[in-house]
Amino acid sequence: MNLIMIGRIKRRRRFILVTSLLATIAFVLCSAMLMLGNTIYPVSEVIRVLLGEKVKGASFAVETIRFPRMVAGVFSGFAFGVAGHIFQTMLRNPLANPNVIGITAGSSAAAVFCIIVLHASNAFVSIASIFGGLATVIVIFLLSKSHSFSIGRLILIGIGIQAMLNAVISYLLLIGQQHDIPTAMRWLSGSLNGAKMENLYPLIVTVLLFTPIIIAFGKRLDMLELGEQTATSLGVDTNKTRLVLIISSVLIIALATSATGPIAFVAFLSGPIAKRLVGVGISSIIPAGLVGVILVLASDLVGQFAFVARYPVGVITGILGAPYLIYLLIQMNRKGDL
């Protein structure tokens, strides 16, 4: 057996081990989400409720409150993790994630406009946030389009668009009626509070539909990371690959944002953590999604039970992500990448 085959086997074993461990942690956190609350229910009662039995006290809490909250955390965390990894890998820059280049800001601005100005229903706000994210990514790519694709130009334009949209959001909050501000702020902070199953089905279907497509393009994504010319020389249709991955990623992250709001830094952190755990030479798409799930669920549990007051999940992920962003900027500056 040659060294190349041995290396492949080792990478595959490490991938299976890491993915299994992440899935186990995610399962434990899902169980904790269903069991913990003002009343702690044993595993046996939770299982009976999930199987359709009516258990006094537990049925309402688990079915109506905790299960939708858990599902929202799982699918939004997975979507943020996968989409963030796709953008960072495809654009070969850790700053190139949907939070930094303005995609989630587009969704947020559309949602806040609907809440403050139109006084729209939750369903309409969700739909508007999806189209806001899609419109933002189209504008960014049109403005960054030139004779050749430039990663730096796209990131700079995205950061500029994000700053502009954040200014729009601030203005809307200033002119908004007092009773609308808490709703908008709760949405902007990123929260699993008030999650309902009927509002989560579009997110669930979209993630289940587009994740296999993203995985199928995983090898081409890894080749894109080597550079435009190298990927083309290896037979990759870079324009088609980039188009499919961008559309898939924007759709899942726009729907995740519409369901939970823009949960800060999950898309930013998930990819780098997954890559460190899995190593090079093998796709990190699924591990990045699982890391996203773990970050969202763990942060939500911390926000609910670690402090006297309860904090939305986005506050906790923001506390985790901000120091890493500062560290990354310092490292990039030292290397001359900024």
Please answer whether residues 172 and 112 qualify as being in contact, where contact means their C-beta atoms are separated by less than 8 angstroms. Answer: yes
Mean pLDDT, each 10-residue run in order, the chain (338 residues)? 72 91 96 90 90 85 92 95 90 75 84 87 81 86 71 80 90 85 81 87 93 89 75 76 86 87 87 87 89 95 88 88 76 63
Question: Tokens 């010319």 appear where?
Answer: 229
Please report, to the nearest 10 degrees, the dihedral formed by the alpha carbons of residues 32, 35, 37, 40 taken in order. -130
Question: In 10 A of CB 56, how many CB atoms?
Answer: 7
Q: 25 and 294 in contact (C-beta within 8 Å)?
A: yes
pLDDT at residue number 150: 66
Exposed/middle/buried for 239, CB within 10 Å: 0-12, 13-18, 19+?
exposed
Residue with tokens 């203005």: 171
3-state secondary structure of 241: helix
Angle at 169 between CA 165 and CA 172, to 5 degrees: 135
The CA distance from 292 to 338, in Å, is: 27
Domain 73-335, what fold?
Answer: ABC transporter involved in vitamin B12 uptake, BtuC (1.10.3470)
Q: What is the pLDDT of residue 213?
A: 93
Q: Are 162 and 100 in contact (CB under 8 A)?
A: yes
Contact in structure between 154 and 144 (CB atoms under 8 Å): yes
pTM > 0.85: yes or no: yes
Return the pLDDT at 324.
Answer: 77
Distance between CA atoms of residues 86 and 231, nearest Å:
16
pLDDT at residue number 144: 76
The radius of gyration of the chain from alpha carbons, rounded to an integer in Å, stands at 20
Q: What is the pLDDT of residue 67?
A: 94
Quick one: which of 190, 324, 327 has its CA closest to 269?
324
Q: How many helices (H) and strands (E) does the chain have?
A: 15, 0
Tokens 């991955």, located at residue: 245
Helix (H, G, I), strand (E, B) or coil at 236: coil
